[in-house]
Amino acid sequence: VRIPVPWGHIAGKWWGSREGTPVILAIHGWQDNAGSWDPVCERIPDEYSVLAVDLPGNGLSSHFPPFVSYTFLETPAILKRIVNYLNRGKIHLLGHSGGSAVCFMYACTFPEDVISYCGIDYLVYCYQKESARVTALSKNLDTAINLALRDPRKAKRYSWEEARDKWVAATKGSLTPLTAEILMQRGVSKLPDGRVVFSRDNRVKSADLNQLKVDQVTDMVRNYEASTCLLRAKDSMYFYSRGIKNFPGILDILKNQCRHYEYHDLEGNHHIHMDKADEVSEIYVSFLNQVKRLN
């Protein structure tokens, strides 16, 4: 699947009926790609229509033009382009990690577009202390500039096994060799000599300071009304260590405000949707069925 955009295309992968409605739009985590949804989508009944996309700069999607930054605040606009292109009415959102935060922000910003949101091991990207952001700003800007100046023609070449092991190591064991190889199907380019290079844009690696303040999220969540299912991986630090640590009251707000709300603690690490696909897909399909009954 290729969705045209001014800088090229957004690549995606359909599961189930392409004509079915509403569409489930699945958004991967930071530096992953649409392949991360393969294990779950293989287990979702064909009656559902799932579109998993590669965010710009990842997988098979086009990179942004030179010196255009990849930011958290830009990504909901990418989702809006996709929703407008599909023109299939309201959607379900399914997100993992940073993709989950993007889906949540989209559902707050465009509540009229969203029936339900399921977020896996992440919810919101926000901060409290301005001083910490100021301290990190110069370092992160230098890093972003240096990454942008790298010549992709000089990218390091790896054997398949070396690339797989490097990806596993970069996630500190959240990925296994098996799940890393699933991501590699869309995340590396094969060279004539049999070696591979990572195909993601170097610029997606830089830290993103485009977070929201807690009071901004507080204002945004007032518009939120989607049925919600949150899944937290017990062996992962990500769910609480970022935005929820700064805004712990958000879970109670959602519980009281959503038409239907579920929260699940699951054994496993950050890429739990790949490692425990049976359990995750069972919870998600049950959630979708519950939402269908409510609507």
Question: Is the same domain home to 90 and 227?
Answer: yes
**What pTM did the predictor assign?**
0.93
- Give the active site residue among 61, 62, 97, 174: 97
Cβ(292)–Cβ(286) below 8 Å: no
Angle between helices 98-109 and 214-221 (to 10 degrees): 50
Mark whether 97 is an active-site residue: yes
Question: Is the same domain home to 92 and 233?
Answer: yes
Task: Identify the domain boundary among 188, 205, 222.
Answer: 205
Question: Is the same domain home to 109 and 26?
Answer: yes
Longest CA pairwise span in the chain (Å): 57
Question: Is the same domain home to 21 and 53?
Answer: yes
> Which domain range does residue 157 map to?
132-205
Question: Is the same domain home to 6 and 90?
Answer: yes
Question: Is the same domain home to 21 and 80?
Answer: yes
The Cα 75–Cα 63 span in angstroms is: 13
- What SS3 class is residue 147? helix
Task: Identify the domain boundary among 175, 205, 235.
Answer: 205
Give pLDDT, residue 126: 79
Question: Is the same domain home to 103 and 244?
Answer: yes
Question: Is the same domain home to 240 and 188?
Answer: no
Task: Identify the domain boundary among 184, 205, 226.
Answer: 205
pLDDT per residue of the chain (295 residues) written in tens, 0 to 9: 999 999 999 999 999 988 878 999 999 999 999 999 999 999 999 999 999 999 999 999 999 998 788 888 889 999 999 999 999 999 999 999 999 999 999 999 999 999 999 999 999 987 766 666 677 777 777 777 777 777 777 788 999 999 999 999 999 989 999 999 999 999 999 999 999 999 999 888 877 767 788 888 999 999 899 999 999 999 999 998 767 888 889 999 999 999 999 999 999 999 999 999 999 999 999 999 999 999 7
> Can the peptide bond before residue 22 be classed as cis, meaning omega within 30 degrees of 0?
yes
Question: Is the same domain home to 111 and 147?
Answer: no
Question: Is the same domain home to 116 and 226?
Answer: yes
The Cα 163–Cα 198 span in angstroms is: 8
Give pLDDT, residue 112: 96
Question: Is the same domain home to 41 and 99?
Answer: yes
- The predicted-structure confidence for 156-181, as pLDDT tens digits, reads as follows 899 999 999 999 999 998 999 999 99
Give pLDDT, residue 18: 85
Give pLDDT, residue 132: 64
Question: Is the same domain home to 86 and 226?
Answer: yes
Give pLDDT, residue 7: 96
CATH number at residue 100: 3.40.50.1820
- Number of domains into which the chain is organized: 2
Residues with Cβ within 8 Å of residue 43, at least 6 apart in sequence: 277, 278, 281, 282, 285
Residues with Cβ within 8 Å of residue 19, at least 6 apart in sequence: 49
Helices (H), the chain: 38-41, 75-86, 98-109, 130-149, 160-170, 177-187, 214-221, 238-239, 245-246, 250-257, 272-275, 277-294
- The predicted-structure confidence for 238-248, as pLDDT tens digits, reads as follows 998 767 888 88
Give pLDDT, residue 129: 66
DSSP tag of 158: B
The Cα 24–Cα 15 span in angstroms is: 10
